[in-house]
Structure 1
Amino acid sequence: MIAGFVVHLQYLSVESPLRMKNRLSCLTFAILGALLLILAPLSFSASASKDISAEKQVFRFNVSPNGYPPYLIVHQNQPSGIMWDVVSVVAQRLGYKVIAEQIPRKRVDQMLLEGYIDGTPRAREWADDPEQFLFTDPVVDIEEVFFVPAKSGFSYQSPDDLISKTIVTHLGYRYPLLEPYFEEGRIRRFDVSRDKDMFTFVLHGDRFDAAIADRLVGKWILRNEGLRQQFDISSESISNYGFRLMLRKDWQSFANRFNEELAKMKKNGELDTILANYR
């Protein structure tokens, strides 16, 4: 191979200057072409990596098909509400774009684990398998109470007061304090898929005694439906839980930064301003 290269150099040395110049030009172009072929895939790979990195700055947030007003409000595919507003503000500061996904309650956990969504609002106590997920600090507190027809004489101090009664509940929701009573049949539950329908059943159904809902959620619905005067609200609650973001466990870094920004919002009054918009 070396001998051939020497012969080639000897051949070049006896060529005319013009012919040698042409050969050198061709050789230069050939080398440049080879370099371009080598570097182009590297450039494309770097560009692709940059695009993939940019695509990862998206937070797919479940708002459910019917929302959960005033925490999540879905109107003409335009979400709003307390949780949506807080998540949007924090995500923007962290460099994420929030995309709303409307996932039915029974499919949420699996779709979160499989990566179709990145987060959903949830109290840790409501999760069937909370150890599978990661939870942020509470954004707000959820207080579940009973809503009953006005002047019905309904009174609640403990679950024993509900024995033999039928309670309207939200489909897919867990009520830890009452679960043993439901399982044993001492208290009957009647599930509906929309929060608004819970109050309709209680008001117009003879066999229903009360509905369970978050105090703020119930007041919001009754006010918007013009039904506030037709319901009484129990002073005692059956639960008081922190309403958080439920994430996959590989979102620990996001959760840490979310908690930091949330703490700032609580301290500087931003969270109170958002809450005031929905009360």
Structure 2
Amino acid sequence: MKRFISIMLTIQLCIVSFTANSESINYYVIAKQAMPFQITTSDNQHSGIVSDIIAAIFIDNYTINYHTYPFNRMISKLKSGGEKNWVTYGSPNWGSVQAANLSDHPIYTVSHSILSNINSNFVYQDLNDISDKVFVLLHGFDYPTLQPYIDNGEIQELRVKDYSAAFRILDKMPQDAVFVEMTSRIKYNIKIQSRDLKQFKLQDFSALIPSYPIYLAFDPNMDSALQQFINQQLAVLADKGTLTDIINQYI
């Protein structure tokens, strides 16, 4: 009886695998702002935590169609339906299309930090410490827990297009500006831009932006067999330690 059940489960997995592999996957990538989760090069090569996970899931007999856009345009594309069976990454905290249909298990837990210039005397303890600071934030991204303070004028925001611009502002306005972003993305971008973390102060900001999990985000109308296959493969990667290995390459 056990042997019969094992055989049937194997056949079922093969059927799901065959169905999945017969489909093309449309993978949506944020241009320039999502490192180390999604990294693109000038010759259109893809890497990063999420991109490597997608590649590992579809390691055999698959077709991945990459669609790379600035963040706002990508969201607009997905809200209008996107390409069939699309996948990207998302979180319940982000809402909208990046939260509508998520993988069974998270792929990473993100935390946020507040970055200031090493020459600044800024120390974050509570909201009173940031009332006179200019908050540098990435253009296009939402920060729901900060928005009420921005709306009522307690926080002055300054939007920038990328990390280089954010670091330059901290250099030019060391006493007045702070940069709020995911800790992993801050550290990665400091590293690839040949900056030294010792040039900055990195302080935990979880009191205002609590840590939360991120997941793979799916087309709400994704083929059910394909979604089952992705979730199964994701579970296998987690059990084998492959997810941890991928993350450790970048963080």
Asked whether the two chains share a fold, i.e. TM above 0.5, the reply is yes
Evaluate the alpha carbon distance shift between residue 207 and residue 63 of structure 1 in structure 2; reply closer, same or farther with a 3 A threshold.
farther
Aligned residue pairs: how many?
Answer: 225
TM-score (normalizing by structure 2): 0.79
- Asked if 1:204 corresponds to 2:135, the answer is no
Mapped to 2, the partners of 1:96 and 1:115 lie a distance apart of 22
Q: CA deviation at 1:129?
A: 6.0
The range that moved more, 238-247 or 179-188, is 238-247
Letter in 1 for 2:221: D
Instruction: Say which of 200, 206, 210 aligns to 1:239.
Output: 210
Counterpart selection for 2:148 from 177, 180, 190? 180
Q: Given the alignment of the two structures, is residue 86 of structure 1 paired with residue 56 of structure 2, yes or no?
A: no
Q: Which stretches in structure 2 are left out of the alignment for 5+ residues?
A: 1-18
Alignment of 1:112-151 (within 5 A): 112-117=78-83, 118-128=86-96, 133-136=100-103, 137-151=105-119
1:72, distance to aligned residue in structure 2 (A): 1.0
Structure 1's 231 and 102: CA in aligned 2 closer, same or farther, altered over 3 A?
Answer: same
Shift, 1:169, TM fit: 0.4
Aligned residues of 2:120 and 2:175 also touching (Cα < 8 A):
no
- 8 Å CA contact retained: 1:144, 1:214: yes
| Cα offset, 1:184, TM superposition | 0.9
Q: CA deviation at 1:157?
A: 3.1
Shift of 1:245: 2.1
Q: Distance in 1 between matches of 2:148 and 2:106?
A: 27
Q: Per-residue deviation at 1:190?
A: 0.9
CA displacement, residues 125-159 of structure 1 (integer Å, 9 cap, x when unaligned):
1234666x212232111111111101412222334
Q: Which runs of 5+ in 1 are unaligned?
A: 1-52
Match of 1:105 in 2: 71
Question: 1:128 and 1:155, CA in 2 relative to 1: closer, same or farther beyond 3 A?
Answer: farther
Secondary structure of 1:180's counterpart equals: helix
Most deviating of 208-217 and 110-119: 110-119
| Whole-angstrom distance in 2 between the partners of 1:183 and 1:201 | 22
Q: What is residue 266 of structure 1 aligned with on the other side?
A: 238
Aligned pairs (5 A) from 1:55-66:
57-66=23-32
What residue in structure 2 maps to residue 162 of structure 1? Answer: 130
Matched position secondary structure for 2:69: coil
In structure 1, what is the Cα distance between the partners aligned to 2:78 and 2:94?
Answer: 15
8 Å Cα contact 1:58-1:96 kept in structure 2 = yes
Question: Shift of the alpha carbon at 1:65?
Answer: 2.1
Q: Residues 260 and 208 (structure 1 numbering): CA distance in 2 closer, same or farther, change over 3 Å?
A: farther
Secondary structure at 1:106's aligned position in 2?
helix
**1:208 shift after superposition:** 4.5
Higher relative contact order (CA 8 A, sep 6+): 2
The alpha carbon displacement at 1:84 in A equals 0.2
Determine the structure 1 residue equivalent to 2:34: 68
**CA RMSD, 1 decimal:** 2.5
Matching residue's letter, 1:203:
D
In 2, the alpha carbon distance for the partners of 1:211 and 1:221 equals 13
Tell me which structure has the larger Cα radius of gyration: 1
**Superimposed CA distance per residue, residues 175-206 of structure 1 (whole angstroms, 9 cap, x where no aligned partner):** 12211001111101111122332222222236
In the TM superposition, residue 119 of structure 1 has moved relative to its aligned partner by 2.3
Q: Hey, what's the Cα distance between the residues in 1 that align with 2:97 and 2:152?
A: 22
Paired with 1:261 and 1:129, the residues of 2 have a C-alpha distance of 23
Identity %: 22
Structure 2 distance, partners of 1:55, 1:115, is 22
